[in-house]
A and B are shown apart, each in its own frame.
Chain A
């Protein structure tokens, strides 16, 4: 180790605070980005695995009408048409009736048809234990993996209580499958039932969900297509998981975008950290240069330091990310389960891309941010390097140019954002120049704020106040980066916070208009935002005839799989009084309901946006009697689904689809009756074991808002994370800034400044910096929020939202800035005030 390396190491060791904070800053930046990536990747991987487990080796699926495929069609294919590589499947979900309500996938199969399909049911390595006779002949029998059995604390022959479509059933554990490495993940959370049992459990007597099939060539495909009755379709296995992935696309992009925001903050931090570590040592570097160290050697040392800090920070970052992601996964899978489909994420998966991305952020970004300071440091003349005022005056000279560049960047950003496009990445790309523009304008803002506050400070705090405010400008080369980083982090908080609360109040307004009934009834559903369980029409009739029920609304929701797309169709039987709950974006409100009653359809705003449809457009839907075109009568505001909804009148729905049952019922109570009495009457209806979820308006409204809040919980978590990142950054730069003024403050002390006055100077200064950051953050934050509301969300989901400027969020932001700054000043202030002037000046 040569003496230069030693010197560099000694510097780092001698400054443990700065060294530690630099590493922590980088670690936090890396971990925020990496943990979101891991959480995203793990949830989509968990979904893929469960999809593959179910699809097995099937190349295609034959899907039927909304009622599934009749048993006899399968027999027809086997016997009349001689198809051998086909297998019937029923897929459903069950949840345990115990406290944790864990969800399992129920897969109904015919063992005798399985051999070409699912390895884990028939492969060479599989051993199945237990009473297989029972599996086939005993009602409600299932088999499951050894691991699942263990986790449930059950053994073969036990029963287990579950809820299927809101009905409680006792499943009999007939046997277990011993898992090996290949089938382990496929068998996770899987209950396997005989096809007969599955039909009985899911109430699909006489029908199967789909037929798995292996097709080797296109000729075969055509042949099968020709055999299919109206309303049936042959689709590729991949398209099932593709549609699910499309569903999550916007959700994932938004999560990624939040992580990118954290990334930008992280980058600033790293840049800030590295610049500081160099700037601080300019004097030392000057000394080294003057004793003959070449400029190349200097930049090499600095880059090597950056590499070390980067590597250590990255390693820490990944470690922290691992723990954060475990935490994030819970939120992400909760949201997916609330909004999209049932998935259980247990394992953490890391892809090479995540590692590359995280490591390049941590290491390469660190080195890149060190290049400029390293270059500058090595170029500077040894003598002038030792004079600090040189750096400051050189930056001050650049302020006008920086401000102009800042404005130019902001304009570029605005132009990019203005380009009409559905591409969300382009929108995100437009945010970047705006942020850079703001960062570049920071020095001029600092000067303005200081100009205004210097007299105020002087008046309030006397000479110490003036000294505190002036030194921000004197040290502008360092203060501006710290202020910009803090401002950006706070702005991100304001942006995301404002967006969420704008969205929230939009949704609440909409909910209040839409949920205009007294009592709501549905079956317990595993997906909170959707009713995937069905109530029989008999229950509807029973409720209709109850005393105290004035009016009734009901709807049925089904999914249509159409050429790789997944549509949600809502068939509503609305009473006229509920018409007012719909706000139309397009379509004449006086006309639309007539058209609707005549068989035309409504689209929700996101749906119309996603598929570029307008009033008057024709939309082709796969009915049970083949494809049919429907005219769009109106487009309504709706925030229930980011996938968008198609709404059709129930009477017309019944003409085109054979589906039985309703997904939800809502009723209006007679003026003379009490809501609670009617609610109790409904709850005590005889329903053959079908559980009913009966909710009042207030409860449903509140629980809807709860789901909304849960959805954005992850955004909140990220918001907090980026504040922590920023906070650490601010702490490290302000602390370095103050600690570095040791000598200057020592001189002041020697000249008679009291320790308490010194403490005051340091803290007044950081406070003003925090305030400046707040001043910058508020407009930037609201601009970010507006971009998120009007551009990003609109382009991702097609939602129109009301934008709100929220004083509470802005006050909060200002408090965060001030608190961060204050906290960062306490330790250096305290330390400085305690140091004896002699010690502080000793290096001379």
Chain B
């Protein structure tokens, strides 16, 4: 759910890196024009349904403009401390075809990565970002063996074993103060989002993405924060999406929820916000049961209500507490940020953080953990 974010970040990278203003989307669109963004028509588009083939589709789809490998997770250390993490590698293409040139540095593919660790008990948030070109092997993505990397921030296949079409992978990233090194193994099959993996984002045909998720991956490894090492366990969520779409002109941003309930079910829901403050019809989600079979959530299937706000140090006002209900109240969840300030203060600001979930499901009490992403505030 991050395609625009990626384009915007790159635009900002070129324009004024240190001047981290929250860029409103309207302005950004004109900025991305200045960047010389290739007209959408040149790239492949997600127009019709496709057959997903693995492991090939784990790798890059360079003829689409944007793509990402997205991981979030909530973990507990051996001594009971709680952590959250986000690690995403983005790819964006400057052109559909790579021009034939002699230099190894020549690239039409640019990579960006975001990395964050939330120390929930310590009420601290660590984040960093990286950029690189694909050229000279500084960054890249391949399906077999499954490797995605931006310098030493990497997703690497560690063994031949494949579960539910996904090999066992290591996820590694390191910033000045925080470091993660995990092994991930999926415990459920992948879920094709929306219409068999074709996820419509706006009215125009082709304004859609190909989108699949692994909603529960067993995660084990270590987190090092300011030199202190924690051995951790928990669950991650992996999203894979590629597209050539952008927000429609009347769309302003989105609120995205990835919730892992303790009854081994998951809910994903995103709400596209329009400039007039209402929620777009293209808001949608998926419910995944403990066996891995999924059910669509349409806009009218849920009611999302903001019950609290958080003001960022620079004055931005972000929703900070929600109620997510089905109209029948069969599901009634209260979602609270694990740490209020999980603002990704990178080239383009957004809020992405670990959340705690409480409430009822089918009449009985339920709890869970998850991740929320808020853009366009």
Contact = CB atoms under 8 A, between A and B. Distances in A.
Contacts of A124: 16-19
Contacts of A637: none
Contacts of B138: 75, 78-79
Given A129-B34, A132-B35, A196-B106, A75 B137 contact: yes
Contact of B105 (A78, A82, A199): A199
A131 B136 contact: no
Contacts of B108: 136-137
Contacts of B95: 133, 137
B103 A200 contact: yes
Interface string B327-365: 000000000000000000000000000000000000000
A111 B15 CA distance: 11
A586 interface: no
B195 to A, nearest CB: 32
B16 A126 contact: yes
B276 interface: no
Given A112-B132, A139-B99, A71 B14 contact: no
Interface in A401-432: none
Interface in A169-211: 194-197, 199-200, 205-206
Contacts of B136: 71-72, 74-75
B18 A123 contact: yes
A127 interface: yes
A62 to B, nearest CB: 16
Interface in B106-120: 106-108, 110
B133 interface: yes
Interface in A130-149: 130-134, 136-139
A122 B12 CA distance: 10
* A123, A196, A197: most-surrounded residue (chain B CB, <10 A): A196
A196 B101 contact: yes
Contact of A139 (B13, B19, B101, B174): B101
A72 B137 CA distance: 8
A804 interface: no
Nearest to A108: B105
* A74, A78, A113, A124: most-surrounded residue (chain B CB, <10 A): A78
B103 A131 contact: no
A200 B102 contact: yes
A127 B16 contact: yes
Interface string A807-843: 0000000000000000000000000000000000000
A206 B105 CA distance: 9
A136 B107 contact: yes
B319 interface: no
Contacts of A364: none
Contacts of B110: 112, 136
Contacts of B184: none
A128 interface: yes
A115 interface: yes
B105 A137 contact: no
Contact count band on A: 35 or more
A123 B16 CA distance: 7
Contacts of B35: 131-133
B145 interface: no
A196 B15 contact: no
A133 B7 CA distance: 12
Contacts of B19: 124
A122 B14 CA distance: 7
B316 interface: no
A133 B36 contact: yes
A127 B36 CA distance: 15
B38 interface: yes
A110 interface: yes
Contact of B133 (A71, A110, A206): A110
Contact of A127 (B15, B107, B152): B15
B131 A196 contact: no
Contacts of B105: 71, 88, 110, 194-196, 199
B37 interface: yes
A318 B327 CA distance: 87
Nearest to A133: B36
Contacts of A112: 13, 110, 131-133
A128 B14 CA distance: 7
Contacts of A71: 104-105, 136
B102 A133 contact: no
Contacts of A139: 99, 101
Contacts of B102: 199-200, 205
* A79, A138, A205: most-surrounded residue (chain B CB, <10 A): A79
B17 A197 contact: no
Interface string B1-21: 000000000000111111100
A136 B104 contact: no
B14 A82 contact: no
B85 interface: no
Contacts of A205: 102-104
Interface in B12-55: 13-19, 34-38
B17 A115 contact: yes
* B38, B110, B151: most-surrounded residue (chain A CB, <10 A): B151
* A127, A137, A139: most-surrounded residue (chain B CB, <10 A): A137
A201 to B, nearest CB: 10
Contacts of B135: 196
Contacts of B83: none
Contacts of A200: 101-103
A138 B106 CA distance: 9
A638 B306 CA distance: 84
A206 B136 CA distance: 9
A40 to B, nearest CB: 37
Contact of A132 (B36, B101, B152): B36
B318 interface: no
A66 to B, nearest CB: 20
Nearest to B34: A129
Contacts of B106: 137, 196
A208 to B, nearest CB: 9
Nearest to B174: A82
B212 interface: no
B371 interface: no
B103 A196 contact: yes
Contacts of A88: 105
Contacts of A138: 99
Contacts of A206: 104
Contact of A133 (B16, B18, B38, B131): B38
A353 B127 CA distance: 49
B149 interface: yes
A122 B17 contact: yes
Interface in B225-271: none
B62 to A, nearest CB: 13
A111 B138 CA distance: 13
Given A122-B17, A123-B18, A136 B101 contact: no
A33 to B, nearest CB: 45
A132 B99 contact: no
Contacts of B141: none
A245 B107 CA distance: 38
A96 B305 CA distance: 64
Nearest to A78: B151
12 contacts: A72-B137, A78-B152, A82-B152, A111-B13, A126-B16, A132-B35, A137-B94, A139-B99, A194-B105, A196-B106, A205-B102, A206-B104
Interface of A: 71-72, 74-75, 78-80, 82, 84, 88, 110-113, 115, 122-124, 126-134, 136-139, 194-197, 199-200, 205-206
Given A79-B151, A136-B107, A196-B103, 14 more contacts: A74-B136, A78-B152, A82-B151, A111-B14, A115-B17, A124-B17, A131-B36, A133-B36, A137-B107, A194-B105, A196-B105, A196-B135, A199-B102, A200-B102
Closest 3 CB pairs of A and B: A133-B36, A196-B105, A131-B36
Interface of B: 13-19, 34-38, 94-95, 98-99, 101-108, 110, 131-133, 135-138, 149, 151-152, 174
